[in-house]
Amino acid sequence: MAKKTFRCRLITPEARILDQDVEHVSLPFHDGLAGILAHHAPIVAQLGLGELRIDLPEGASKSYFLEGGFGQFVGDHLTILAEEAIPTERLSEREAKAELDEANARTGTTGDEMRKIVHDRSRAALKAKLASRVKTAGV
């Protein structure tokens, strides 16, 4: 039977977070979500803001708030170099909602200021959503 797992490495500037065999990875590219399975075609892509979900061979999953970086899949090895990756169980819904309230209260006058505000709102809203899901799941 063909090998159904591949090696996944998740690295941030601060630490190597994960280095193990996995079955599936749902990865937020800058222009949409991509699913990666063993024997995927080689790819290099810019990462965006989103949830990184990693399915392990024993049936468990790991979930991360991910922002920015690059992903490369070649030879059944996925390397994720992320600007930021936070395990969802470490997210606080209360802190994320406070971050969202602060971003919603800000105003800008230039295009750059408005883009930053929109980004900060999206970032905080995603954190709140992921934290809420963890809380609901009882993790």
Q: Report in angstroms the alpha-carbon separations of 95 from 98, 100, 117.
A: 5, 9, 17
**What local confidence, expressed as pLDDT, does residue 64 receive?**
98
> pLDDT band for position 1 (50/70/90)?
very low
**What local confidence, expressed as pLDDT, does residue 34 receive?**
95
> pLDDT band for position 98 (50/70/90)?
very high
**What local confidence, expressed as pLDDT, does residue 135 receive?**
65
Query: Domains of the chain, with CATH numbers?
Result: 6-88 (2.60.15.10), 91-137 (no CATH)
The mean of the pLDDT values for the chain is: 93
> pLDDT band for position 134 (50/70/90)?
confident
Mind giving me the DSSP string for 107-136?
Answer: --SSHHHHHHHHHHHHHHHHHHHHHHHHHH
Which burial class, exposed, middle or buried, applies to 1 when counting CB atoms under 10 A from its CB (0-12, 13-18, 19+)?
A: exposed
Mind giving me the DSSP string for 68-109?
Answer: EEEEEEETTEEEEEEEEEEEGGG--HHHHHHHHHHHHH---S
Mind giving me the DSSP string for 12-52?
Answer: -SS-EEEEEEESEEEEEETTEEEEEETTPPPEEEEB-EEEE
CA-only gyration radius of the chain, Å = 16
> pLDDT band for position 7 (50/70/90)?
very high
Q: What percent of the chain has pLDDT over 90?
A: 89
